[in-house]
Amino acid sequence: MELRQLEYFLAVVEEGSFTRAAARLYMVQSSLSASLLGLERELGTDLFVRGRRGADLTDAGRAFLGPARATLEEADRARDAVAGVKGLLRGSVRIATVALPRSIDVEETIRRFRDAHPGVDVHLVPEGATGVAALVAEGQVDFAIAPRTQRTGGTLRFEPLFSTPLALICPTGHRLAGLHDLDPSEVVDEPIIDLPRGWCARDLFDQMLDERGLHRRVRLEVSEWLGVLTMVQRGMGISYGPVASIDHDIFRGVAVATLTGAPLWELGVLSRDEALRGAAGRAFLADYRQRCGGRTAAGAL
């Protein structure tokens, strides 16, 4: 059994198909399939159910998944230890992100990090706010830059980096646009474009209304932040969210109103365990923190 076979196995699991895994690994599918067939022969069992729609794990494959990940993590730690003695930095970093404010996104950090550490591969995984916790918990990424989640605690930890009050988002010219210290009771009868439950902003907004004994009818849910902003810009309703996550260069028809007693929306680093990050991941986070040091999401506007 070779480490590369374990890497191929995890690539198929994460991508859901041999075709996408081969593209990610920059190899032909036939070579990938042959390598994994050799692994299955060595183990004496099938790891995947191969079908037209992709590759699903068998019971044996699910049992093999945890040890395979653990073996690769140990191998990475061993390589990092040797590289540390030599004063080198190598390995890979897998980062999940939600849509981030332009001034605090990770792209600039990636550009500088790759220039400084050409031996490190960086993989950026865009994800919705409800999916990042699962990616971190399952070990599919090293960490995520995401809003605070209710799943923290136990296997997941959250390190806050920025915070900004939740605000009302309106079309320019709306009667509430630009108002300050707006009472939430003035909002509940408006057509609100909601994010789905599980999104940090939605949970904060619901909690704020519940604490005041206010109720509203949920008429429209949109599971993508840019989609919410687009609908607000087109005058389809109002919404709520972190002010710093509005790109006013793109959404020029969007205005903001502040809310009395608005809860704080927090953005930070979501991870499983500090020890699970390799040297490359720790170095990347250090660079990202340095770039973002002294900024707040509200001040980033």
Whether 265 contacts 201, CB under 8 Å: yes
Choice between 207 and 137, residue whose per-residue pLDDT is larger = 207
Handedness of CA 257, 259, 260, 264 (dihedral sign): negative
154-187 residue pLDDT tens: 568 888 888 888 999 999 999 999 999 999 999 9
Q: Looking at the domain assignment, is residue 270 inside a domain?
A: no
Instruction: Tell me the pLDDT band of 138, cut-offs 50, 70 and 90.
Output: confident
| CATH for 79 | 1.10.10.10
pLDDT recorded at residue 297: 42
Beta-strand relationship, 239-242 and 143-147: unpaired
pLDDT at 299 over 50: no
Separation of alpha carbons 150 and 134, rounded Å:
12
Q: Looking at the domain assignment, is residue 298 inside a domain?
A: no
pLDDT at 152 over 70: no
Helix axis angle for 29-43 and 18-25, nearest 10°, is 110
Helix axis angle for 279-292 and 59-86, nearest 10°, is 70
pLDDT recorded at residue 300: 32
Q: What is the average pLDDT across 215-244?
A: 89
For the chain, what is the radius of gyration of the CA atoms? 22
| CATH for 182 | 3.40.190.290
Which residues are 240's β-sheet partners? 168
Q: Looking at the domain assignment, is residue 281 inside a domain?
A: no
Q: Per mean pLDDT, which range of 91-105, 176-190, 274-288 is the poorest?
A: 274-288
What is the pLDDT of the chain when averaged over all its residues?
82
Instruction: Tell me the pLDDT band of 259, cut-offs 50, 70 and 90.
Output: very high
Provide the domain limits for residue 42: 1-88
Q: How many domains does the chain have?
A: 2
Q: What is the average pLDDT across 96-102?
A: 76
- Total-model pTM: 0.62
Separation of alpha carbons 101 and 99, rounded Å:
7
Q: Looking at the domain assignment, is residue 30 inside a domain?
A: yes
> Exposed, middle or buried by CB within 10 Å (0-12, 13-18, 19+), for 48?
buried
Q: Looking at the domain assignment, is residue 182 inside a domain?
A: yes
The per-residue DSSP string of 116-129 comes to H-TTEEEEEEE--T
Instruction: Tell me the pLDDT band of 296, cut-offs 50, 70 and 90.
Output: very low
Separation of alpha carbons 290 and 112, rounded Å:
12
Separation of alpha carbons 197 and 203, rounded Å:
6
Half-sphere exposure (CA, 13 Å, Cβ side) for 239?
30
Q: Looking at the domain assignment, is residue 201 inside a domain?
A: yes
Instruction: Tell me the pLDDT band of 90, cut-offs 50, 70 and 90.
Output: low
